[in-house]
Copies of this chain bind each other. A is one copy, B any other.
Amino acid sequence: MRNIRDHGGGLDAAVTQYGGARADWLDLSTGINPVPYPVGEISADAWSALPDSGAMDRLLTAARRFWNVPDGAEIIAANGASALIAQMPRLADTNDDSVYVPGPTYNEHAAAFRAAGFHVMDQPDSDAPVQVFVHPNNPTGHIKPVEAVTSRRLNIIDESFCDVAPMESHIAQASYDGVVVLKSFGKFWGLAGARLGFAMCTPDVAGVLRDMLGPWTVSGPALEIGARALEDVAWAEATRVRLAADAARLDELVGWKLVGGTDLFRTYEVDDAAAMQDYLAQGHVWSRIFPYSKTWIRLGLPAPDRWDQLRAALA
A→B interface (CB under 8 Å) = 1-3, 5, 7-13, 27, 30, 32, 34, 36, 39, 45-54, 79-80, 82-83, 85-86, 108, 112, 115, 186, 190-195, 207-208, 210-222
Contact = CB atoms under 8 A, between A and B. Distances in A.
Contacts of A48: 32, 34, 36, 190-193
Contact of A3 (B12, B86, B210): B210
Given A45-B193, A79-B83, A210-B3, A8 B215 contact: no
B216 A82 contact: yes
Contact of A30 (B50, B53, B214, B222): B50
Contacts of A186: 50
17 contacts: A1-B207, A1-B210, A7-B215, A9-B49, A10-B52, A46-B193, A50-B192, A51-B192, A79-B195, A80-B214, A82-B216, A83-B217, A85-B214, A86-B212, A112-B211, A112-B214, A193-B219
Contacts of A9: 49-50, 52
B219 A194 contact: yes
A251 to B, nearest CB: 24
B194 A47 contact: yes
A277 to B, nearest CB: 18
B210 A2 contact: yes
A215 B27 contact: no
